[in-house]
Amino acid sequence: MEYKVAVIIPTLNEEKFIARCLDSVIEQSYPFRDMDVMVVDGGSNDRTREIVEEYGRKYINIRFIHNPGRIQSIAFNIGVENSDAPYIVRLDAHALYNKDYIEKCIAGLQNDTQIGNVGGRCKILPFNDTLWANTNAILNYSRFGIGGSAFRVGVKPDFVDSVPFGAFPRTVFEKVGGMREDLPRAEDNEYNSRIRKAGYKVFFNPEIVSSYYARPTLKASCRQMYANGESIGHLFYVDRDSIGLRHMIPLIFVVGIIGGTILSLVFLPFVYLLLAGLCLYFLCDFVASLLAAKEHGWKFLLPLFVMFFCVHFSYGWGTIVGFFTGRKLKK
């Protein structure tokens, strides 16, 4: 059967989310019969495969594919190679998609052949109803917290550097190739950069809406931010054009703290400079926490104040580590 859209969903131990994700794909306004839905799994040891195969017995166009390379970039390439559909949509199992998500993505590609990737706004939902899960969801909407990416805070259609859960014409894959399989994270940053260099545009449409579940604990948030930061360090060796100023600010912050501390030990005036810098940061942290707590509830004031610092430091430290662990990567 000839399908019009290849829907690729990389997974690894997603038993808590995959059913909800597939349900939101099945309920799309775009004809489900025209979709080739592939769950490309990196070796889950929970019930992910069992759940997907249950759906596959009910719907002939849902299938489970094994990904021996485990990471998402390899899953994407496997999905593209296992379908002939002219349009490709890369989704995330951790997210749900508005009913018209795929319809509007495909319409965006059909309306302008110069668009190589189209995506939209990603609403952040708490993983559960705990204090830290809600705090992390709130943090993701703050420009001070995550940096103000268009897909988090944007309200106007525009050409941007990146969008989440994008849709691509197959001609892009044929022209620029697949995603880099040596990048466990930030593969989408590098891929979007390559798309733009090939003469295509990346389009953000705020009417295309998905909902993503944020990490549920402070520790999980820091671990995620550390990994994201490390991926930026890797991109330094792969494609510096895919790194924006907002990606580097946490690095500058952490380097300032470490460098200021070392210099303070040998030259007293740096003590005052370090303290002044930290006071300025924590003042900004407090103001951002205050404004967010005023909108969402005062119980979030202290957790936000703590989480802002922790995720910023984790991201910056991860970037430093990434500069050392990414040396073997090639452009």
Would you say residue 116 lies in a domain? yes
Q: Are residues 167 and 285 in the same domain?
A: no
pLDDT, tens digit, for every residue of 290-329? 999 999 999 999 999 999 999 999 999 999 999 999 888 8
Q: Are residues 245 and 175 in the same domain?
A: no
Last residue of a domain, one of 154, 181, 216: 216
Would you say residue 74 lies in a domain? yes
pLDDT, tens digit, for every residue of 51-99? 999 999 999 999 999 999 999 999 999 999 999 999 999 999 999 999 9
Token pair in block for residue 308: 């802002």
**150 has pLDDT over 60:** no
At position 250, the amino acid (one-letter code) is: P
| Cα–chain center distance at 45 | 23
Q: Are residues 172 and 285 in the same domain?
A: no
Give the separation between CA 252 and CA 156, rounded to whole angstroms. Answer: 30
The β-bridge relationship of strands 87-90 and 5-11 is parallel
**331 has pLDDT over 80:** no
Return all residues near 137 (Cβ < 8 A) that are at least 6 apart. Answer: 124, 125, 126, 214
Would you say residue 231 lies in a domain? no
Would you say residue 308 lies in a domain? yes
Give the separation between CA 89 and CA 6, rounded to whole angstroms. Answer: 6
Q: Are residues 75 and 167 in the same domain?
A: yes
Token pair in block for residue 75: 């899953």
Q: Are residues 295 and 178 in the same domain?
A: no
Whether the CB-CB separation of 151 and 204 falls below 8 Å is answered with yes
Would you say residue 156 lies in a domain? yes
Return all residues near 88 (Cβ < 8 A) that are at least 6 apart. Answer: 5, 6, 8, 79, 80, 167, 168, 169, 170, 173
Give the separation between CA 281 and CA 253, rounded to whole angstroms. Answer: 9
Would you say residue 145 lies in a domain? yes
Token pair in block for residue 125: 């939902």
For the ranges 10-24, 29-43, 44-58, 231-245, the lowest mean pLDDT is seen at 231-245
pLDDT, tens digit, for every residue of 113-134? 999 999 999 988 998 999 999 9
Q: Are residues 253 and 154 in the same domain?
A: no
Phi, psi of 13 (to 5 degrees): 55, 60
What end-to-end distance do the CA atoms of the chain give, in Å? 39
Would you say residue 233 lies in a domain? no
Q: Are residues 108 and 194 in the same domain?
A: yes
Residues forming beta bridges with residue 65, ordered by sequence position: 40
Q: What's the number of domains the chain is made of?
A: 2
- Rounded average pLDDT over 176-186: 91
Phi, psi of 37 (to 5 degrees): -95, 115
Quick one: which of 2, 88, 86 has its CA closest to 38? 88
Q: Which structural domain, as residue segments, surrounds residue 302?
A: 240-325
Q: Are residues 127 and 205 in the same domain?
A: yes
Would you say residue 224 lies in a domain? no
CATH number at residue 206: 3.90.550.10
Give the separation between CA 267 and CA 264, rounded to whole angstroms. Answer: 5
> What is this structure's pTM?
0.91
Sign of CA dihedral 269, 270, 271, 277: positive
**186 has pLDDT over 70:** yes
Could you give the percent of the chain with pLDDT greater than 90?
Answer: 80
Q: Are residues 194 and 244 in the same domain?
A: no
Q: Are residues 194 and 120 in the same domain?
A: yes
Last residue of a domain, one of 158, 181, 216: 216
Q: Are residues 193 and 272 in the same domain?
A: no
- SS percent in the chain: helix, strand, coil, step 5: 55, 15, 30
The β-bridge relationship of strands 35-41 and 5-11 is parallel
Q: Are residues 24 and 121 in the same domain?
A: yes
Give the separation between CA 46 and CA 207, rounded to whole angstroms. Answer: 35
